[in-house]
Structure 1
């Protein structure tokens, strides 16, 4: 784990540590998944029941880590091998909801969130946790994929049957795999009568309930990935996800190439260093929106935020300016008060 990520997590743990009175039980545990550390805190639940709930969460994370995360994950390898045939086949039941929701989010994002572009990630060598510092692909190779334009709209999902109308479709859910696992973890916790909990995976957070009647205090990372730019107080049902140029990248001849690929150009998105989304609900929507807004860039993000129903947005552009919605500007306890701020509302959408 990078030192800056560790520092952010330690900061979060410190915030949680002082969250309640001595009469309120707090159960915390850590375990590895998705190439990082998962921190789980359960508040207000008897220890034995909390430990049992945490064990279920750990098993679920291990399952999705093995099936969704990284190049060659078992389920994804098997699924992607069948897509080019154009014939219908039985998709793994555990992936049906993720496939269906991803199609909806693809449409809502105007195609900017597109897990069907796995061949682009392979072309760039960004389909693995630690990409090698190889030369970027030739423009001709990028153009060849752009000509066949694989998208989530090429997939037909009928019950458990899946087929692709485009042999170029290859699915890569790395951008939302942790969010999906966190959403299922929250469902599992609720099923075991856990009403207040926080899950942190590498700085992305899924929270429900409260910390002993008070809001959870969630740190928002800087665009550099080092340190915290502000704090958000949230309670109820909340997800905070960040897409960043610092995630899954490589450097070649002084230039950084990251894994937030623009499906319109086949190249890493430019203009924005990071996009953070707070969503009052599921993590999958928040993670998909963060990626879509980073791709949309400093000019077009309000339109995409409006289409996706996102109220709380923070973008940091390449000049260090903070682009925020009014709701985010009001809620964010900003630590870097000298940064230039640009406040814009999401555009109304009929989507």
Structure 2
């Protein structure tokens, strides 16, 4: 009888400790943002979610690549080759862009905004259209704008290529997630998940259970695997179904290879796990461009420990660490297991300021 009573009491205590998950949704950076908080009251959850939404709205305004605002002013002044004082919200993003471009061997390049615009990806609504002419693409590729051509001195920026045009769309919402998670942790919230499109960061757990993230199939429908997260980790998925248009039966997506000026051809989707969401998003973009033959080298350079890449031949490339973490939904896919990812300690984290 005493044992039965003890079991019942333990069960009741476990139920009592299982805190509800409070979810708030809003729209920013052209996608739905979900804020999931655990172990907080409704009023604290509302205050935290309201602050996160305000931050996202503010950052979206400042970092928007084509709407009038601070980013368009920065791009105009960078093209002038004259030094200028940058808006406070822009400097950390430029620093990160320079560091991530260097570590990705130039595959992640936020300075190719003119190419993004040429392809029509600076339009809010994407419709069927012919791709740009090879001649126009070649001119912008030859101009070779890179983040390395931007100098930072104290609060000033200076560009050294009139073809520079910044577009941080690949990492903007992820960086906003990182800043918001920092705010939550400073407020004493230990268990949360913030998700914006295919980018997310989770801290703690989900009422005693790991956060469980579905990995979609390359066509965007159905689930390939479940990825459990616990602690403090970020996941970024870049896929050709995210932002694209069709013309004469061919799909053109917005992951542009700066070496060719056209959408990367060999990859359909990449999922990366990293400590911070910003690095995860930049790495996923770079690995998508690197493709099935070169992703491993770039992953090592960028300090990434877990990678899943789906190629256009229907194969799924995994490093052993990622393979061990995934909960496969079925075993129909062809799996290509890589060598382990040996990561240098100095390249494993991006400094967020």
Asked if these proteins are the same fold (TM beyond 0.5), I'd say yes
5+ residue gaps, structure 1: 1-19
Is 2:241 the counterpart of 1:246?
A: yes
Question: CA 1:64–1:336 in structure 2 vs 1: closer, same or farther (change >3 Å)?
Answer: farther
CA–CA distance in 1 between the matches of 2:90 and 2:196? 21
The answer to whether the Cα contact below 8 Å between 1:21 and 1:212 also exists between their aligned partners in 2 is: no
TM-score using structure 2 length = 0.90
CA distance in 2 between partners of 1:216 and 1:185 (Å): 18
CA apart distance, 1:91: 1.0
Matching of residue 298 in structure 1 with residue 292 in structure 2: yes
Structural mapping, 1:97-136, within 5 Å: 97-136=92-131
Find the counterpart in structure 2 of residue 195 from structure 1.
190
Bigger Rg, which one: 2
2:9 alignment partner in structure 1: none
Q: CA, structure 1 residues 21+87, in 2 after alignment: closer, same or farther (shift >3 Å)?
A: farther
Give the match for residue 335 of structure 1. Answer: 329
Could you say what secondary structure the match of 2:157 adopts?
strand
Off by >4 Å, runs of 4+ in structure 1: 346-351
| 1:346 Cα deviation from its structure 2 partner | 5.4
Q: Give the aligned length.
A: 331
2-side partners of 1:99 and 1:85: how far apart? 17
**Which blocks of at least 5 consecutive residues in structure 2 are unaligned?**
1-13, 348-353
One of 53, 58, 72 as aligned partner of 1:58? 53
Where in structure 2 are the equivalents of 1:9-48 lying within 5 Å?
A: 21-23=15-17, 24-48=19-43
Query: How far off its partner does 1:187 sit?
Result: 1.0
21-30 or 202-211, which deviates more: 21-30
What's the secondary structure of 2:74's corresponding residue?
helix
Deviations 1:240-265 (A, max 9, x none): 11111112211111111111000111
Aligned partner of residue 90 in structure 2, secondary structure: helix
Q: Distance in 1 between matches of 2:15 and 2:215?
A: 25
Q: 1:21 to 1:206 in 2, by over 3 A?
A: farther
Name 2:79's counterpart in structure 1: 84
* TM-score normalised by L of structure 1: 0.90
CA distance in 1, matches of 2:87, 2:220: 35
Aligned CA-pair RMSD: 1.6
